[in-house]
Amino acid sequence: MKDLKELLKFLLVIFVLIGSFAVWSWWDVRSVRGFCGDAKPGTLVIALPSLAENHHLDTHWVRSKVIDKEKGAWIIFLPAKTTFGDVVCKIEHDNTVVLSSRMDGI
């Protein structure tokens, strides 16, 4: 009987941990999706950090950018942390306004 109680406690802990990660992952992807939807073409690039904060996202990613030399546009990749970079919001801008934004990996 004691072994059964220990097993049930262990299974409960595992269930809670997996459930917590699932909820956290859902919330994280939802936040990135909301940010990406609000970063519409024409949005000022200077407004993106506060937009990220409004969606409870790390502004570090919004401040980091790479250039696409073929298009001549800057690109920001904002990942959902819980997906290890598999789900990202990709924002292209000209260093002044957002040109396009889309979710990748969903």
Range of the domain at 99: 2-104
**pTM higher than 0.85:** no
Instruction: Say how far residue 34 (Cα) sits from the centre of its chain.
Output: 9
Per-residue pLDDT of the chain (106 residues; tens, 9 = 90+): 778 889 999 999 999 999 999 999 999 999 999 999 999 999 999 999 999 999 999 888 888 878 787 877 899 898 888 887 789 999 999 989 999 999 998 6
How confident is the model at residue 46, as a pLDDT?
Answer: 93
- Residue 69: per-residue pLDDT: 77
Q: What's the domain count of the chain? A: 1
Q: What is the pLDDT of residue 58?
A: 86
pLDDT reported for residue 29: 92
